[in-house]
Amino acid sequence: MSSPRPAIEWLADAVLYQIYPQSFADSDGDGIGDFAGVEARLDHLEWLGVNTVWFNPCFASPFDDAGYDVADYLRVAPRYGTNEDLTRLTEAAGRRGIRVLLDLVAGHTSDQHPWFKASANDPADQRFIWADTDQAPEGFVASPGTRPGFYQPNFFESQPALNFGHARMDPAEPWRVPVDAEGPRANRQALRDIMDHWLGLGLSGFRVDMAASLVKDDPEHAETAKLWRELRGWLDRTHPGAALLSEWGDPQISVPAGFHADFFLQFGPRGDGLPLRSLWNNWEGTVSEPWEPLQPYFGATGEGTFSLFHDAWREATEIIGDAGFISLPTANHDFSRLSTGPRTAEQLPAAFAFQLTWPTLPAIYYGDEIGMRYVPGTPTREGSRLGPRYDRAGSRTPMQWDDSPNAGFSTAPAEDLYLPLDPDPDRPTVAAQRADEGSLLHLVRRLIALRKATPELGPKSSTEVLNEGYPLVYVRGGRFLVVVNPRAASAEATAPAGPAGAVEAAGVTVTDGVIRAEGFGYGIFDLGAR
């Protein structure tokens, strides 16, 4: 395997902010967010200090899966505006030092995409995976067109898998084609064309949906990795500086496969997403039945185990080296927010103090900066429900801007909103928290500013974990001592020798070699040059 190229420089300083476009800001009063709405709220992003936004898919779509069912990769959905609106937003964001990434749904289209409609009527077409059998192979779906047989979906039935070939042939499945067959080659070229189109308009890169899913029956993902490395090579030659982040959930595979960064996610081959879930997931909100009930490290009872996360982190970073980053999201559109179930607002500052001082590429999910909660009982919308205890809608409710009607999200009648707002009369808002210097929002802003101004806190500096029970204690870049106590009970640990000046702290003191942390306390201390 050729060694991966070093990561692009700007990404090392990035603080990502994820926008679910449906729910961020609605400018035209139809109840659904749009690009002009985001543009009007760029002040918030600039003030907060985030410098890279990634949008969930915003392309033409029947929205069976919130836009992850793309019907035209080169045209944005009219409900968000026009391609020109997106370009204008990207330029306006760029003037404020904010890059914009789009979501590349690489593994499947919508069943309404013209490629699929043509394929369903042309027995020779190979762009999708068709079994011309009498009986449906497991998981396959009957052709909706004149072509007989069945197609393979990639997620929901309405999301036919694009054909990137199979890594292995199987006489029992004669429809398999190799990765360099005509259909797979056309699809690989299509990925280039899509990227080229948007990068040419000023976008800065992509988060790639289900990046591991491309080549089927692919042991160790070897052929899928080859495909991405080839694309990365093309990207580096044609659009140097553009970023590729994968939704893979396994950075030690995806970064060597050519991605600049990957996320620790609620799923993933290593322990079914355990590394991330062991930090945040508290068995409320989005729950998948195979998951073991687990006390998260960021839990008031203090029964969590940081090493579940830390061991996986260490293993991945050792393999990745300088080639890329691991992104740690506060949440995303697929799983519960930080503020879910028993996790109260007073517990959130410690979580951000950790995320924004850890050597990660931090990703803040819209609204988490004010502690918006996962809203249980939110109606299912656009394929949000994945299981009896797994509805993603609760993480997708409208952004809470202020105390005007619809929390300033939209002027539409409340019943026309994409999803109802959190009905809690005490729901947090941006306006209230901006007016309060003691708010979570101000803390997040200060932490982002501190991170930017302090290379020792960035992803490339060293991390020495001194205590991984409660409190968590680590030193960044040999200079900054971080203490985080995510449980309700107080905790003590030994401090490194010498003075420690508080840079940002609440409920943590360091005196005479002893760290004392109150429940939910956090602190960042300057140990001075050593």
> How many chain residues touch ligand NOJ (CB under 6 A)?
9
Distance CA 340, CA 395 (A): 9
Considering the rule CB under 6 A, would residue 65 count as an interface residue with ligand NOJ?
yes
List strand residue ranges (DSSP E) for 421-500, in order: 463-467, 472-476, 480-484, 491-494
Residue 362-391 contact track with ligand NOJ, rule CB under 6 A, x = bound = ------------------------------
Nearer to ligand NOJ, 153 or 471 (CB): 153
Q: Is 197 helix (H, G, I), strand (E, B) or coil?
A: helix
End-to-end CA distance of the chain: 39
Residue 102-121 contact track with ligand NOJ, rule CB under 6 A, x = bound = ---x----------------
CB of 380 to ligand NOJ, least distance (A): 13
CA torsion through residues 137, 142, 146, 152, sign:
negative
β-pair type (501-511, 514-526) = antiparallel
Q: Decide if 132 contacts 175 (C-beta within 8 A).
A: yes
Distance CA 22, CA 466 (A): 43
CB of 26 to ligand NOJ, least distance (A): 21
User: Which residue number is nearest to ligand NOJ in terms of Cβ?
Assistant: 68
Nearer to ligand NOJ, 66 or 253 (CB): 66
With tokens 């992003």, the residue in question is 45
Closest CA to 457 of 470, 446, 468: 446
Site for ligand NOJ in 246-285 (CB under 6 A): 247
Considering the rule CB under 6 A, would residue 38 count as an interface residue with ligand NOJ?
no
- Other CB atoms within 10 A of residue 29 CB: 12
Measuring CA to CA, how many Å separate 117 from each of 64, 110, 128, 136, 181?
16, 10, 10, 19, 21
Residue 325-364 contact track with ligand NOJ, rule CB under 6 A, x = bound = --------xx------------------------------
**Bridge partners of 508?**
517
Nearer to ligand NOJ, 245 or 350 (CB): 245
Site for ligand NOJ in 140-159 (CB under 6 A): 155
Nearer to ligand NOJ, 125 or 334 (CB): 334
Provide φ and ψ at 101, rounded to 5°.
Answer: -115, 145
H/E segment holding residue 101: strand 99-105
Residue 199-228 contact track with ligand NOJ, rule CB under 6 A, x = bound = ----------xx------------------
Considering the rule CB under 6 A, would residue 64 count as an interface residue with ligand NOJ?
no
Nearer to ligand NOJ, 62 or 202 (CB): 62
Nearer to ligand NOJ, 41 or 396 (CB): 396
Residues that bind ligand NOJ (CB under 6 A): 65, 68, 105, 155, 209-210, 247, 333-334
